[in-house]
Homo-oligomer: A and B are copies of this chain.
Amino acid sequence: MAIEMDKKQRVALALEGFDPRYGKLPLACLHVAIVLSAFTITLQSMPGKDSLTVQILTGLEVILLAIFCAEFLLRLWSAESRLGYIFSFWGLIDLLSILPALLFLFPNSEVLRTLRLMRIFRLLKLLRMRRAILRLEHALSSNREEMILFGVLAAITLFLAAVGIYHFEKDAQPEIFGSIPQSAWWAIATLTTVGYGDVYPVTTGGRIFTAITLLIGLGIVAIPAGLITSGLLNAPEEDPDDLENDLINRDKPETTNGEN
């Protein structure tokens, strides 16, 4: 490929896994850092750690923070439009991924504890894997109208089930079916067939209502998840070279294509 690239293009390509010399290596390093970050978050959630482990985890966190900050700055610098990057979906994810880590460096503050959980946004960066994200986008956009329609139908079904069971069970079990929001928890657990067993009808009327609701409602509530499944499975395959060409040719005038 005889195209001369400036440094910005080189960095942009490297961050997408198309580095001319190292190929997917820089991208793979970022993915390893994300997985390491997930392990750090998991380990920090576990109680009973000794002080050495805490120190190691804090150190690892600082290193990961440096990596993600460097990635963010590189992406910002190499972006065609810097404001466009910051306010894009991935730009916000990248920014959110490093903000809580900055706060994490002051670990004694009480209010920061929940902010630390925001590091979970880093995991979403894993989804930047081109094939996964292509399919997720396809799943959510290809049948957006269907998703909304059947999401509304599922919500109505769940609400009607909640009101119905509330009517039948509110006197027999006032603690767990005492209001419609409480009954909605039963509707969710039942119509997804999870059935934890913390709430279930005990009256004859409630049980007959449950039986009818299940036989009819299962088919309706299952549709949104089914649409996501089929959207994910039926996404068209995109040629990965296309992205590489997009990145290389981005500064060229579009007229070169028009000449052909």
Give Cα distance in the complex from A197 to B151, angstroms: 27
**Residue of A194, A198, A207, A210 with highest tally of chain B CB at under 10 A:** A194
List of B residues within 8 angstroms of A160 by Cβ: 120, 123
Say if the beta carbon of A219 comes within 8 Å of chain B: yes
Say if the beta carbon of A107 comes within 8 Å of chain B: no
Query: In the complex, which residue of chain B has the Cβ closest to the Cβ of A230?
Result: B219
State the oligomeric state as a number of copies: 4
Do B47 and A179 have beta carbons less than 8 Å apart? Answer: yes
A188 CB to closest chain B CB (Å) equals 5
List of B residues within 8 angstroms of A159 by Cβ: 38, 123
List of B residues within 8 angstroms of A131 by Cβ: 149
Query: In the complex, which residue of chain B has the Cβ closest to the Cβ of A191?
Result: B194
Q: Interface extent on A, as a size class?
A: 35 or more
List of B residues within 8 angstroms of A117 by Cβ: 163, 167
Do A232 and B207 have beta carbons less than 8 Å apart? Answer: no
Say if the beta carbon of A74 comes within 8 Å of chain B: no
List of B residues within 8 angstroms of A180 by Cβ: 41-42, 45-46
Give Cα distance in the complex from A185 to B163, angstroms: 21
Do B198 and A198 have beta carbons less than 8 Å apart? Answer: no
Query: In the complex, which residue of chain B has the Cβ closest to the Cβ of A166?
Result: B45
Given contacts A135-B149, A188-B211, contact A126 B229 (CB under 8 A): no
Say if the beta carbon of A85 comes within 8 Å of chain B: no
A194-207 interface mask toward B, CB cutoff 8 Å, 1 = contact, 0 = none? 11111010001001
A172-184 interface mask toward B, CB cutoff 8 Å, 1 = contact, 0 = none? 0000001111001
Say if the beta carbon of A153 comes within 8 Å of chain B: yes
Chain A positions near chain B (C-beta within 8 angstroms)? 38, 41-42, 45-47, 114, 117, 120, 123, 126-127, 129, 131-132, 135-136, 146, 149-154, 156, 159-160, 163-164, 166-167, 170, 178-181, 184-185, 188-190, 192-198, 200, 204, 207, 210-211, 214-229, 232-233
* Supplied contacts A45-B170, A189-B195, A215-B221, 14 more A-B pairs, CB within 8 Å: A46-B181, A117-B163, A120-B163, A123-B163, A126-B152, A153-B232, A188-B207, A189-B200, A195-B196, A218-B225, A219-B225, A219-B227, A222-B229, A226-B229
